Amino acid sequence: MVKTMNKLDMSFSNYGNKVVKSISLLTSIVLFFSGCGSMRQMMGMGKPEKSNPMIRVSLENKKIISIPLEKYLLGVISKEVPADWPLEALKAQAVASRTYAMYRKEHPRDSKFDVSSTTADQVFDKKHQYPAALIQAIQETKGEILTYQGNIFEAFFHSACGGASEKASHVWAGDYPPPLESSHEDPFCSAAPHRDWTYTVSEETLENILKDKNYFLPKDWNIGIDQRDDLGRVQALSIESTAEGKKKNKTVQILNANTLREMVGYSNLHSTLFELSEDDNGIVFTGKGSGHGVGLCQWGAKGQAEEGKNYRDILNFYYPGSDLMPLDQKLIIKETDIEKLEKIESSNTAIQPEPSQPENTQPENLQENTKKEEMKTSKPHNGVEAIISNLPDQK
Ligand SMILES: [Zn+2]
């Protein structure tokens, strides 16, 4: 039981009073019913596979493999971060990738697999051997995931935010929990390769790109920044007609900044944190950072680790309001469970704990149900489009 209490203490941030109170209540109940088989099952005890479920991975050759979560993570973080980065940064990446994988397992886009091996989800490369540091990062965070109010969320990550994070809802359609809706400054990623970048595109090229995507352009046009967020990230651009006469400078098109990134290429327009100007060669984007800016900033995690921060500090910074907990205990602090337990306490009646939810590894039908909900939005990939190219060569 003591061990259980310690695991609950792993949560590093922002348990509301209600949750703290409920955990205390839960602990009391667990202590009281320490011999209760149902409660033991609810706590994940005696079910080691819960902390290391199978993940179905769609490989680039379309083959689908099913491997244990922790083994899958080795193949992911070996592609996401160099093994010679500080251990605490590797551990932060391991938790983010584990959380993202488990979210996808709960909300698969395809009934046949949970994650793809490309930037559509997380880049994955199965190897026979991995650097010892990566194995250590996985082992020291084994089974740990991030949650918000007991629910796993899409722990997006990116290469470098350029000094300002981004809200998920500014990048993709849908509703996101507070840990993904944080907009904050980040002074830790200044060493990133694409901290500063410039992309110049001729008017003719940009015009062709836009027209190919069915954007209407007047004969004479100009592009400008229509809207920024508080930290300077461009939300929307405007295309205006520059024709002489009454319609001069009339805005004819509003263009989402992230849509523009997708159209011109993520490796060209590295981020939405940019200024716009013009020179003899065309339209000049001068920006900072690389990637969508949501969630964990990989280069920022490296910078924080080098300053002595541990992986919990790092995750708390990039996913504020989230909780770190063992995967096999995730179910017990869901709000619904907490409310049930509070009712039990107030009525002082015999406890009838809810049975554990079924393992996601088994029921295809369960995943089908969640998939329908997921597919209503055009969900992103994890937005790791530029990460690999930005990182130093891996050893
Ligand atoms: Zn950053």
Q: What pairing do the DSSP bridges indicate for beta strands 323-326 and 221-228?
A: unpaired
CA of 260 to the centre of ligand 1 (A): 21
Model pLDDT, residue 386: 29
CA of 192 to the centre of ligand 1 (A): 8
CA of 291 to the centre of ligand 1 (A): 10
Mean pLDDT by 10 residues, the chain (395 residues): 28 31 37 33 42 92 94 94 97 98 94 92 89 96 96 96 96 96 96 92 94 86 93 94 68 89 95 96 96 97 98 98 88 48 48 34 28 32 35 32
Model pLDDT, residue 216: 81
CA of 274 to the centre of ligand 1 (A): 15
Model pLDDT, residue 343: 55
Model pLDDT, residue 250: 74
CA of 162 to the centre of ligand 1 (A): 5
Residue with tokens 């250590």: 136
CA of 300 to the centre of ligand 1 (A): 4
Model pLDDT, residue 346: 53
> d(Cα 390, Cα 232) in Å, to the nearest integer?
22
> d(Cα 65, Cα 83) in Å, to the nearest integer?
25
CA of 272 to the centre of ligand 1 (A): 13
> d(Cα 4, Cα 27) in Å, to the nearest integer?
8
Name the helix (H) or strand (E) containing 42. helix 37-42
Model pLDDT, residue 280: 94
